[in-house]
Amino acid sequence: MSKVPLCPECGVNSLFYDREVRQYVCSRCGSTYTAQELLVEREKRMARRFEESRKRRYHREYLEWWLSAKGSQ
């Protein structure tokens, strides 16, 4: 069983594949996407999540360092 992709426009699992036009159609907002467009959007979303995770980790590590430096004085 394959996962239903999220609609990049409205963010809901309401996409279905229309074989006649060979595209995914959102039953909620009506947007249409090719498989390639959905793949690109998924990669962008994953890259954003990775970057946000990296930034949070950097800030947390800096805060831990700063608090440990203040505590040793």
Chain segment 1-55, per-residue pLDDT in tens: 356 678 888 888 889 999 999 999 999 998 999 999 999 999 999 999 999 999 9
Domain ranges of the chain: 15-71
pLDDT of res. 5: 78
Please report the pLDDT score of residue 1 as a whole number. 38
Task: Please tell me the distance from the alpha carbon of residue 48 to that of residue 54, in angstroms, as a whole number.
Answer: 10
Beta bridge partners of 26: 15
Q: How many CA atoms lie within 13 A of 50 on its CB side?
A: 6
Give bridge partners of residue 11 from the DSSP assignment: none
